[in-house]
Amino acid sequence: MSIPLSHLKGKSLGVFGLARSGLATVKAAVSGGARVYAWDNREDARAKAAGEGVTLQEPGEWPWEELAALALAPGVPLTHPEPHPIVGMARGAGVEILCDAELLFRELEGKARFVAITGTNGKSTTTALIGHLLGEAGIAVEVGGNIGRSALDLAAPSASEPVSGSFPEQIYVLELSSYQLDLCHRLRPNVAVWLNLTPDHLDRHGDMAGYRHAKERIFAKMGGDDLAVLGIDETDMEEVAVALSERAQAPRLARVTVRERDAADIRVDEAGQMTDARNGERLNLSAFPSLRGRHNWQNAACAYAAVRELGVPVSIITEGMASFPGLEHRMQIVGRHGKVLFVDDSKATNADAAAPALATFQPVYWIVGGRPKAGGIHGLSGFFPRVAKAYLIGEAADEFSATLAARVPHVIAGELARAVRMAAEDAALDPEDEPVVLLSPAAASFDQFPDFEARGRAFVAAVNALDDASAQQAALSESAS
């Protein structure tokens, strides 16, 4: 499935990088009638594109004078640490460099509505939640970009003409990384969400100023008919909001805080109560099981602002947030064994990523470890009082044991399945109402698993095995009686 890029009919397009987004771009451009020249340094990637009607040539052999644009894979360096050689070729030939999300917008401008989401943290959850809420409202919605399916792998609108003189029901919800935003030039979302800004990807953007500038591109083409939703809990984000409000032809703003910032329009207090000062609407975000923790309250409040702008009533938002399953391996509730809750946070591959889960649950029976990263778990010491016991796995076990020594009761479990069994037994004896067995490894998975997804699936399998064992024990007890 791909959206034919009919606006490129009869034109030539260069595509560099033939992974997920690049291959979708090739298919969309060819089906739209474009001539496509493409390359990837990996032979297996070129093989996947070989049967798609594309000319596979090294970029030095491309007819640059004919190219309308270069679709560049977001992972290819545009500016730092230094531009990839193909960037110099394109600039020397005066060829525009863009990405698949930009091509999607150019194809469907005026034929669909767009919601764009970015931020250092939380953008995948917020993107998925917005898509879920729109779907619950009965709106035709496609979700992709930096999450799940690439932008040009999404379904085309069901109608080619605007409905009722405005937009059709089709809405595209796109998660956009800073890499992608660097390659967007005309993209104008009807609603754009920028959650937060903390140091990340500085090797690709040079410094925080470069990183912030890339993110700011999400609002660049928006005007007074559009809504910009901003989390303002970092000083940089407060500055972005002020600068945006002072801009000529600025979009309308919905400023969100979970830290009691004065300038906010939408506030979430420390108990999870959300209040929209613009209309008096309220939501109890703490009532939604898959949206626990202050960081998820920010995600939920921003998603609320986005879908209210698109006409979704509060009653459906409430029902939709209650039914939202969460994202796999991101603080995902995967089971309950008696009073013990089991949470899969396998995506937390470093200490910073593990912090939100440790801040959310208590008491925690923490399964932690894998292949350690720089700094280990020293940065999580503030959360150690919330940990009833830790179960150490993988290569990091000895290092993490030294960090936890005399501070957190712990045991070296070695293997994940053994850690689950041990943690479940200990948590069942905890006097609290809802002890939590939490897989939040704060380490890479590659010592024992091919990726964090495989680690998360192994955790779920181990939790399910507890249920199987309990069922077998119950059956034996019944037959004995």
Concatenated DSSP letters of 240-254: HHHHHHTSTTPPEEE
pLDDT at 470: 58
What is the rounded CA–CA span in Å between residue 277 and residue 255?
A: 10
Nearest to 172, CA basis, from 214, 140, 211: 140
Is residue 125 a known part of a binding site? Answer: yes
- The angle subtended at Cα 11 by Cα 10 and Cα 13, nearest 5°, is 140
pLDDT at 1: 61
pLDDT tens for the 481 residues of the chain, in order: 679 999 999 999 999 999 999 999 999 999 999 999 999 999 999 999 998 999 999 999 999 999 999 999 998 999 999 999 999 999 999 999 999 999 999 999 999 999 999 998 899 999 999 999 999 999 999 999 999 899 999 999 975 444 444 444 699 999 999 999 999 999 999 999 999 998 777 778 888 889 999 999 999 999 999 999 999 999 999 999 999 999 999 999 999 999 988 899 999 999 999 999 999 999 999 999 999 999 999 999 999 999 999 999 999 999 999 999 999 999 999 999 999 999 999 999 999 889 999 999 999 999 999 999 989 999 999 999 999 999 999 999 999 999 999 999 999 999 999 999 999 999 999 999 999 999 999 999 999 999 999 999 999 999 999 976 655 554 445 555 5
- The angle subtended at Cα 452 by Cα 446 and Cα 454, nearest 5°, is 90
pLDDT at 374: 87
Is residue 120 a known part of a binding site? Answer: yes
* Sequence-ordered alpha helix ranges (H) in 228-293: 235-245
In order of their start, the domains of the chain are 6-98 (3.40.50.720), 102-323 (3.40.1190.10), 332-477 (3.90.190.20)
pLDDT at 238: 95
163: Cβ–Cβ under 8 A, 6 or more apart, which residues? 169
pLDDT at 121: 87
pLDDT at 473: 52
Calculate the alpha carbon distances from 127 to 216, 223, 239, 328 in Å: 18, 22, 24, 14
Per DSSP, which regions of 40-112 are E strands? 55-56, 67-72, 96-98
pLDDT at 203: 79
pLDDT at 162: 44
Is residue 284 a known part of a binding site? Answer: no
pLDDT at 237: 95
Across 160-186, b (16+ Cβ under 10 Å) vs e yields eeeeeeebbbbbbbbbbbbbbbbbbbe
pLDDT at 268: 97
390: Cβ–Cβ under 8 A, 6 or more apart, which residues? 365, 366, 367, 368, 400, 404, 408, 409, 410, 411
- CB distance 366 to 390 below 8 Å: yes
pLDDT at 244: 95
What is the rounded CA–CA span in Å between residue 201 and residue 182?
A: 13
Consecutive H or E run containing 344 = strand 340-344
pLDDT at 99: 97
Q: If 0-12 CB within 10 Å is exposed, 13-18 middle and 19+ buried, where does residue 131 land?
A: buried
pLDDT at 478: 52
What is the rounded CA–CA span in Å between residue 35 and residue 310?
A: 37
Is residue 79 a known part of a binding site? Answer: no
pLDDT at 161: 45
Is residue 122 a known part of a binding site? Answer: yes
Is residue 286 a known part of a binding site? Answer: no
Is residue 119 a known part of a binding site? Answer: yes
